[in-house]
């Protein structure tokens, strides 16, 4: 049969293609439509071809006077550093809901330019001299946002929180500390910035112990819609928070931000705690928790059997935030309970 000579080459073609495709597919999720995307650094590249590289550093001649924050988290940082009064407007107000107390009141009083991602017209109209946000994708990556070049053309400096996605396994909050440091430099409040960093570092250090890391599964969605177990990989920011809280993510050795994990592996590795990441769907924390506790796919884990499920919003788990350390403390408490 003449066809038999083609079979080996077809097999080879198929095999090569599978691995090539899988290499692309593994670890990185497919791209959502450019029009809508998560603001977290870990939500995968929907970056427009024209997006700017993340502005990790900024040089300003004098401290900025009119600041636009592209999300409530950046605004919180600035308020904490004592320069909140210079904020003339903010976008991304959903970040504000996690804060409380006097800080919340301050955040609520900031004029809102755009509830969503920071439309460039709204931003430019506010005539700032400085724009900052916690996500690299806010500078041209999201549809309608302003690129660093556009801002510079209008005499506006830009600063983002870069480096939240590490090269290797992510185990530190450096991305957040670096951002605070850069803000301190830009606004001439280096001392305040250092103080803040020390304070946060101290809180984290208090949690360090020799105890065995608690195995944890970071779940970005409840597997009740037919899809499998989606988690954050070892290079993601979430991995660092889990690590610092005394845990070890099941996917710590898998590179990539958004990873789909086999349910079998989860059953065998048997996480003691499930960290559910809310904010990706309309489900409330309670709904997520109860859905996880009743999910057949997770039923064999200690976490579900003992009810050790904790829900953390993606805004504080996946991106640099003032509340990162609070999140770590909450996780640490949960891990302690599970031990």
Partner 1 sequence: MSRRAVSQNSRNRRSGLLGAVPLWVTVLLLLVVLLAATVVGVAVGAVPLSVGEVLGAIRRGISATSTGTTDFIVWDLRVPRVLEAILVGAGLALAGLIVQVLVRNPIADSYVLGLSSGAGLGAVIVMTIAGSAVGIGVQTGAFGGAIAAGIAVAVLASSRGGFAAMRLVLVGIAVGHLASGAMSFVVIRASNADVAQQVMYWMLGSIAGAQWEHVPLVGLVVGVGLGLVASAAPWMDALALGDDAAAGLGLRVSRLRMAFFVVACALTATVVSISGTIGFVGFVVPNLARLLVGGMHRRVIPVTALLGSLLVLAADTSARTLLAPSEIPIGILTALLGVPLFILVVRRSLRAA
Q: How far is CA 102 from the centre of its chain?
A: 25
DSSP lists the bridge partners of residue 259 as: 231
Burial label for 38, CB within 10 Å (0-12, 13-18, 19+), is: buried
Nearer to partner 1, 127 or 284 (CB): 284
Residue 260: CB minimum distance to partner 1, A: 4
Give the CA radius of gyration of the chain. 22
Answer for the pair 238, 318: CB distance below 8 angstroms, yes or no: yes
Residue 155: CB minimum distance to partner 1, A: 29
The stretch near partner 1 (CB under 8 A) out of 126-134, 182-190, 201-209, 225-233 is 225-233
Residues 14-73 that bind partner 1 (CB under 8 A): 14, 17-19, 21-22, 25-27, 29-33, 35-40, 43-44
Closest CA to 72 of 9, 118, 6: 118
Closest CA to 238 of 301, 303, 164: 164
Residue 128: CB minimum distance to partner 1, A: 23
| 221 lines the binding site for partner 1 (CB under 8 A) | yes
| 228 lines the binding site for partner 1 (CB under 8 A) | yes
- Rounded CA-CA distance 275/321 in Å is 18
Give the Cα-Cα-Cα angle 206, 77, 286 (nearest 5 degrees). 70
Residue choice 105, 208, 211, 299 for contact with partner 1 (CB under 8 A): 299
Nearer to partner 1, 106 or 260 (CB): 260
Residue 265: CB minimum distance to partner 1, A: 4
- Rounded CA-CA distance 219/230 in Å is 6
The stretch near partner 1 (CB under 8 A) out of 98-106, 191-199, 240-248, 280-288 is 280-288
Which spans of this chain sit near partner 1 (rule: CB under 8 A)?
A: 2-3, 6-7, 10, 13-14, 17-19, 21-22, 25-27, 29-33, 35-40, 43-44, 94, 116-117, 221, 223-230, 254, 258-265, 267-268, 270, 279-284, 287, 296-297, 299-300, 314
């Amino acid at each position: 049969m003449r066809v038999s000579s083609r079979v080996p080459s077809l097999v080879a073609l198929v095999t090569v293609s599978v691995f090539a495709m899988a290499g692309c597919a593994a670890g990185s999720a497919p791209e959502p439509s450019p029009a809508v995307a998560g603001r977290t650094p870990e939500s995968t590249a929907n970056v427009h071809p024209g997006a700017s590289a993340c502005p990790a550093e900024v040089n300003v001649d004098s401290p900025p006077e009119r600041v636009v924050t592209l999300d409530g988290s950046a605004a919180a940082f600035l308020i904490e550093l004592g320069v909140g009064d210079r904020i003339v407007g903010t976008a991304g107000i959903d970040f504000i809901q996690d804060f409380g107390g006097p800080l919340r009141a301050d955040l609520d009083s900031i004029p809102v330019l755009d509830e969503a991602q920071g439309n460039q017209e709204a931003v430019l109209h506010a005539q700032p001299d400085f724009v900052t946000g916690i996500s690299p994708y806010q500078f041209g990556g999201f549809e309608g946002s302003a690129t660093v070049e556009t801002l510079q053309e209008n005499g506006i400096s830009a600063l983002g929180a870069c480096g939240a996605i590490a090269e290797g396994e992510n185990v530190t909050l450096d991305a957040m500390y670096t951002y605070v440091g850069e803000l301190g430099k830009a606004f001439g409040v280096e001392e305040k910035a250092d103080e803040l960093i020390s304070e946060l570092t101290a809180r984290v250090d208090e949690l360090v112990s020799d105890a065995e890391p608690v195995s944890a599964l970071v779940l970005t969605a409840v597997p009740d819609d037919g899809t499998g177990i989606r988690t954050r990989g070892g290079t993601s920011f979430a991995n660092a928070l889990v690590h610092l809280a005394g845990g070890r993510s099941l996917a710590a050795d898998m590179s990539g931000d958004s990873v789909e994990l086999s349910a079998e592996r989860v059953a065998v590795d048997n996480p003691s705690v499930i960290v559910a990441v809310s904010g990706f769907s309309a489900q409330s924390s309670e709904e997520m928790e109860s859905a996880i506790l009743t999910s057949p796919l997770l039923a064999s884990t200690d976490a579900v059997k003992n009810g050790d499920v904790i829900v953390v919003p993606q805004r504080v788990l996946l991106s640099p935030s003032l509340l990162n350390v609070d999140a770590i403390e909450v996780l640490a408490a949960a891990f302690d309970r599970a031990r």
